Amino acid sequence: MATSSKRNIKENSIIDAAEKVFSRQGFANTKMEDVAKALGMSKGTIYFYFSSKENLYMAITYRAFQALIDTFYESVSATKDESGLEGLVGLMKSFIAFSEENFLYSEAMLDFISFVRSTSEGSLDGKITDAMKESSYYERVKDIQNIPINIFLKEIERGRNDGSILNKQKPELIYLYAWAGVLGFVKLNSTSGKKTTILKVEISDWRNYIISSTRTLLRDANA
Amino acid sequence: MATSSKRNIKENSIIDAAEKVFSRQGFANTKMEDVAKALGMSKGTIYFYFSSKENLYMAITYRAFQALIDTFYESVSATKDESGLEGLVGLMKSFIAFSEENFLYSEAMLDFISFVRSTSEGSLDGKITDAMKESSYYERVKDIQNIPINIFLKEIERGRNDGSILNKQKPELIYLYAWAGVLGFVKLNSTSGKKTTILKVEISDWRNYIISSTRTLLRDANA
Amino acid sequence: MATSSKRNIKENSIIDAAEKVFSRQGFANTKMEDVAKALGMSKGTIYFYFSSKENLYMAITYRAFQALIDTFYESVSATKDESGLEGLVGLMKSFIAFSEENFLYSEAMLDFISFVRSTSEGSLDGKITDAMKESSYYERVKDIQNIPINIFLKEIERGRNDGSILNKQKPELIYLYAWAGVLGFVKLNSTSGKKTTILKVEISDWRNYIISSTRTLLRDANA
Amino acid sequence: MATSSKRNIKENSIIDAAEKVFSRQGFANTKMEDVAKALGMSKGTIYFYFSSKENLYMAITYRAFQALIDTFYESVSATKDESGLEGLVGLMKSFIAFSEENFLYSEAMLDFISFVRSTSEGSLDGKITDAMKESSYYERVKDIQNIPINIFLKEIERGRNDGSILNKQKPELIYLYAWAGVLGFVKLNSTSGKKTTILKVEISDWRNYIISSTRTLLRDANA
DNA sequence: TATGAATGAGAGTTCATTCAT
DNA sequence: AATGAATGAACTCTCATTCAT
């Protein structure tokens, strides 16, 4: 445990640094050298902990899912005394905040699902496929990727049971719609630095509108 | 004029090929060599017409905006006898179809606005900035980038005037919300190859739900 | 033809240089950079002509077999009026001289047959296998690898027919025995630089003994 | 002595493991890590006992010569009541069997003599030279490298004295000829895995032919 | 205009060796 | 004695871009 946790600490510090550098420069524009420099260590050391750049990214992806799961559980717990609708609204708020604060995580999760979708059919480039799949984190991520979705679906069910959600669409569809809206929101805002407006719209107004639309749509039995 | 149009023809054939190759393999995974091969010409020739890979991408971006503008005008024209709400719904349908059929265009437009947003503050990597801005297409794209938005906004106005749209939000906000939803939709579906479902949801159901939500939200005075 | 031969000239000049550098430093100890420097060109240019270091080595291997074949044909032609035994002796002399003058060729041919033997059973390391087999020269070499052997075997047959060779062993066995002797001879002499003795034995005496043993064994009906 | 022998035991177990791994994968393809893993110890520990990878290989080389010497002595002892010719034939049989069973030893001995020959003139790469010579085993090997040769030569002398060997060539030359034949034999058979034929020739036939040729040549006063 | 050739600055990865404990 | 970490120089191969003709 002692040894193992020491190693874990180091691994985590590497992931920490990698997150920062990838966030700033993007995955493709970042050399392993950059990550090493940010840590004051040598490239070789990073490879001692992570077998490849892809694997390092996968580790970040794993963190991303874990963090989202934590965020979701916290949200659910905070709204457990309110209606299911408010539970869902809480999830949406959390999701938006999470995605804005961790754009890299948002990208990583998207990359992952794109990757999984693409490879389940054998398209895409062979080498990337292998590099990804050989990552020790790949399976781990696969194991937890659906947890956020399930949390979301459960809240929909709760809202239907308590009558706060009248929308009759398939829960998964509602999730996809919500996810897409959040994804588009952060994509359009990304690399915006400290900007607070886009197209003369206050980003906070947009954020609020996503929430209010969610309410509107969930309450509407015909939506 | 004669020379110029000859040149234009050549340029367009290069863009045609580049679109195909980029669509298939993605921009980053495509070498200039690949584009040249697809054209049966040499790399050098491409550089005779396009100063850089970025510039070529910018040319595609320009086409993307042009194509979207055409699509939007056609939609507006096709629904000019219907209500403003239906005009907007028509735009949404067109937008979705356009994005699905031209994922590369969708990406290019997103890249462009991300780029513009990022550079107006001087963040991002220096080299890309220069390469992009030196592109002869850069200014051209800047000139037309807002036309789709304006078309969209005009339909909202029309809908408000004819009473079919009761939603009181700022038109730009409605546009952003719509754009984000479509963007998320295609992003989550991209690289899906021939898949027709995601998370057990029929993609066509999702598409329909985007439309019906649009109607719901636009009609709702409190949304 | 003009273009093609120009390219061929360049390719050959690269192979020329590579031969020299590999001969001096060995394949493994030579960087592509070294070959490039020897040519006064850049690494990239070499990769323009040869897809990999392995492929360059394969090109050398191809040359090696071609050169041996030429040498054998010349020898056969020079001894066509003598007995089959003398024909074979001539081949041996040629073989020895060839191997001494072109140690790299000797090594390359040995590597090739070792490689072929090893892969026909699927042993060896996967990556090397692929790199080798992807070489455009691989198939070419396969096509000609047996020609020297066949020339050798034909001379044995001729010698049996004219009564100069009485040895009754399987021709292939005689070839293997001869090959092994020559191989061992050059291996033990390799990297000897300008040395003329080994173990106080004059190399020329050794060379002569190989020849005389060949005669002795071929003439002997009981050997 | 106690400490020293403890150390010796450890050293030997490392050499044991290294032999296995080098035999399987070859020296160049083996990482120190692989050897460590095979031993269940760390790389650092290996470096505690062996100053370098080369040094470890030198230790193996030393073993190789020792083992060959043992083998030769045993053979001589087993044939001491037979003629000198049969003694030599026995040595050849042993040599062949030894080389086939210990291909790594065969390679190591060849590398050693190539190395010695090359450095006595200062050719070859500087770094390897230093690494080799700094090896504590280097001198040890030098001290015993000629023993197998001397054993061989003594048997020739014995054969001449008892009249069983009529061949008048310099003994060292006979040794070189024999060594080369065996070396070529194992080289051509190496990496052949479990193959029992080469060029449609049974390897056992080849083996037998080497022996019978030896007899033929040694008996022949004019060879 | 067009092309084949050439360039050269990387980029990821490897691994023998060293070091701190 | 032993180990896990750390190092950093190599090394192959890539590819946008440029150049000479």
Residue A1, pLDDT above cutoff 50: no
CA distance D35 to D39: 6
Same domain, D6 and D21: yes
What CA–CA distances, in Å, run from A178 to A66, A67, A168? Answer: 20, 19, 15
Could you tell me the CATH number of the domain that includes residue C156?
Answer: 1.10.357.10
CB D90 within 8 A of CB D78: yes
CB C49 within 8 A of CB C1: no
Same domain, D91 and D186: yes
Same domain, B14 and B77: no
Q: Residue C210: its chain D contacts at CB < 8 A? A: 177
Contact D184 C188 (CB under 8 A): no
Q: Residue D180: its chain C contacts at CB < 8 A? A: 180-181, 183-185, 187-188
Cβ of C133 less than 7 A from strand F:
no
**Containing domain of residue D194, as a range?**
52-219
Interface contact D201, partner C, CB < 8 A = yes
Same domain, A15 and A72: no
CB B118 within 8 A of CB A191: yes
Residues 170-209 of C with CB under 7 A from strand F: none
For residue C21, how many C-alpha atoms fall within 13 Å in the half-sphere facing its CB?
A: 22
Q: What is the pLDDT of residue C1?
A: 44
Residue A222 distance to chain B (closest CA, Å): 8
CA distance B113 to B176: 13
Question: How far does the CA of C131 sit from the C1' of E3, in Å?
Answer: 30
Which uninterrupted H or E stretch holds C58? helix C53-78
Same domain, B109 and B44: no
Cα radius of gyration (chain A): 19
CA distance C48 to C32: 12
CA distance C105 to C62: 9
Which uninterrupted H or E stretch holds D198? strand D197-198
String of DSSP letters for D25-66: H-STT--HHHHHHHHTS-HHHHHHH-SSHHHHHHHHHHHHHH
Interface contact A196, partner B, CB < 8 A = no
Residues 6+ apart with CB under 8 A from A21: A30, A34, A35, A38
CA distance A113 to A91: 20
Interface contact D177, partner C, CB < 8 A = yes
Interface contact C195, partner D, CB < 8 A = yes
Identity of residue A14: I
Cβ of B80 less than 7 A from strand F:
no
Burial group, residue C9, by CB count within 10 angstroms (0-12, 13-18, 19+)? exposed
Q: Residue C209: its chain D contacts at CB < 8 A? A: 169, 173, 177
Segment among A63-67, A194-198, D178-182 with least mean pLDDT: A194-198
Cβ of C103 less than 7 A from strand F:
no
Counted domains in chain B: 2
Residue C69's CB: how many other CB atoms inside 10 A? 16
User: Which partners does chain B have (≥3 C-beta pairs < 8 Å)?
Assistant: A
Residue (of D76, D63, D81) closest to D152 by Cα position = D76
B56 closest-nt by C1' vs CA: F16
- Which of A186, A191, A214, A220 should one mutate to test binding to chain B, selecting the residue with the greatest count of B CBs within 10 A? A191
Residue (of D113, D124, D126) closest to D176 by Cα position = D113
Q: Residue B193: its chain A contacts at CB < 8 A? A: 117-118, 121, 123
Contact B113 A210 (CB under 8 A): no
Torsional class of C200: left (φ above 0), alpha (ψ -120 to 50), beta (otherwise): left
Interface contact A114, partner B, CB < 8 A = yes
Contact A209 B110 (CB under 8 A): no
204-223 in C: which are within 8 Å (CB) of D? 205-206, 209-210, 212-213, 216-217, 220, 222-223
B51 closest-nt by C1' vs CA: F17
Same domain, C56 and C113: yes
Cβ of B31 less than 7 A from strand F:
yes
Same domain, B33 and B120: no
Q: What is the pLDDT of residue B6?
A: 85
Q: What is the pLDDT of residue C55?
A: 95
Torsional class of A124: left (φ above 0), alpha (ψ -120 to 50), beta (otherwise): left
CB C184 within 8 A of CB D184: yes
Nearest to B217 among A183, A191, A216 (CB): A216
Residue (of B8, B157, B37) closest to B85 by Cα position = B157
For residue B211, how many C-alpha atoms fall within 13 Å in the half-sphere facing its CB?
A: 17
Residues 33-72 of D with CB under 7 A from strand F: 41-45, 47-48
What CA–CA distances, in Å, run from D125 to B90, C53, C107, D1, D31? Answer: 75, 20, 19, 38, 21
Question: How far does the CA of D3 sit from the C1' of F5, in Å?
Answer: 29
- Which of C25, C121, C197, C199 should one mutate to test binding to chain D, selecting the residue with the greatest count of D CBs within 10 A? C199
Residues 6+ apart with CB under 8 A from D46: D14, D32, D35, D36, D39, D56
Cβ of C44 less than 7 A from strand F:
yes
Same domain, A46 and A57: no
Nearest to B172 among A192, A201, A223 (CB): A201
Q: What's the gap between Cα A144 and its chain centre?
A: 12
Q: What's the gap between Cα C1 and its chain centre?
A: 30
Same domain, A31 and A83: no
Cβ density class D158-178: b for 16+ within 10 Å, e for less:
bbbeeebbebebbbbbbbbbb
Residue D172 distance to chain C (closest CA, Å): 7
pLDDT tens-digit series, residues A145-195: 999 999 999 999 999 999 999 999 999 999 999 999 999 999 999 865 678
Q: Residue D188: its chain C contacts at CB < 8 A? A: 110, 113, 176, 179-180, 183
Question: How far does the CA of D85 sit from the C1' of F3, in Å?
Answer: 56
Residue (of C77, C111, C107) closest to C182 by Cα position = C107
D55 closest-nt by C1' vs CA: E16
Could you tell me the CATH number of the domain that includes residue D34?
Answer: 1.10.10.60
String of DSSP letters for A48-85: HH-SSHHHHHHHHHHHHHHHHHHHHHHHHHHTTTS-HH
Residues 173-212 of A with CB under 7 A from strand F: none
Angle between helices D53-78 and D2-25 (to 10 degrees): 90
Q: What is the pLDDT of residue D120?
A: 67
What CA–CA distances, in Å, run from D161 to C9, C90, D93, D154, D158? Answer: 62, 35, 22, 10, 5
Handedness of CA C7, C8, C11, C12 (dihedral sign): negative
**pLDDT per residue rounded down to tens, chain D (223 residues):** 455 688 889 999 999 999 999 999 999 999 999 999 999 999 999 999 999 999 999 999 999 999 999 999 999 999 999 999 999 999 999 999 999 999 999 999 999 998 888 776 554 455 556 667 777 899 999 999 999 999 999 999 999 999 999 999 999 999 999 999 999 999 999 865 678 899 999 999 999 999 999 999 999 998 8
7-26 in D: which are within 8 Å (CB) of C? 25
Residue C79 distance to chain D (closest CA, Å): 23
Same domain, C108 and C30: no
Interface contact A81, partner B, CB < 8 A = no
- What would the two tokens of residue B111 be? 């890249």
Q: What is the pLDDT of residue B7?
A: 87
Q: How many residue contacts between C and D have a Cβ separation below 8 Å?
A: 142
CB A104 within 8 A of CB A222: no
CA distance C65 to D198: 19
Cβ density class B73-87: b for 16+ within 10 Å, e for less:
eebbeebeeebbbbb
A28 closest-nt by C1' vs CA: E11
Torsional class of B113: left (φ above 0), alpha (ψ -120 to 50), beta (otherwise): alpha
Contact D180 C183 (CB under 8 A): yes
Burial group, residue B199, by CB count within 10 angstroms (0-12, 13-18, 19+)? middle
CA distance A178 to A163: 20
Residue C189 distance to chain D (closest CA, Å): 8
Tokens 């190759």 locate to: B21
- Which of B176, B203, B218 should one mutate to test binding to chain A, selecting the residue with the greatest count of A CBs within 10 A? B176
Handedness of CA D61, D62, D65, D67 (dihedral sign): negative
Question: How far does the CA of C82 sit from the C1' of F13, in Å?
Answer: 53
Contact C124 D190 (CB under 8 A): no
Same domain, B99 and B144: yes
- What would the two tokens of residue B155 be? 């339909």
**pLDDT per residue rounded down to tens, chain C (223 residues):** 445 688 999 999 999 999 999 999 999 999 999 999 999 999 999 999 999 999 999 999 999 999 999 999 999 999 999 999 999 999 999 999 999 999 999 999 999 998 888 877 655 555 566 677 777 899 999 999 999 999 999 999 999 999 999 999 999 999 999 999 999 999 999 865 678 899 999 999 999 999 999 999 999 998 8
Residues 6+ apart with CB under 8 A from D155: D76, D84, D87, D88, D91
Interface contact C197, partner D, CB < 8 A = no
| Positions of strand F less than 7 angstroms from a protein CB | 1-20
3-state secondary structure A10-42: HHHHHHHHHHHHHHHHCCCCCCHHHHHHHHCCC
Q: What's the gap between Cα D184 and its chain centre?
A: 13
Residues in chain D: 223
- Which of A34, A96, A177, A207 should one mutate to test binding to chain B, selecting the residue with the greatest count of B CBs within 10 A? A177
Same domain, A81 and A23: no
Q: What is the pLDDT of residue B195?
A: 83
CA distance C117 to A112: 42
Question: How far does the CA of B11 sit from the C1' of F17, in Å?
Answer: 19
CA distance A97 to A168: 27
Q: Pick from D50, D66, D91: which residue ends a domain?
A: D50
Cβ of A49 less than 7 A from strand F:
yes
For residue C111, how many C-alpha atoms fall within 13 Å in the half-sphere facing its CB?
A: 20
- What would the two tokens of residue C200 be? 């106080």
- What backbone phi and psi angles, to 5 degrees, belong to A151? -60, -45
What CA–CA distances, in Å, run from C158 to C22, C161, C179, C215? Answer: 38, 5, 19, 15
Q: What's the gap between Cα A14 and its chain centre?
A: 19
Mean pLDDT per 10-residue section of chain B, whose length is 223 residues = 76 96 94 96 96 95 98 98 98 98 96 85 56 81 96 98 97 98 95 80 97 97 88
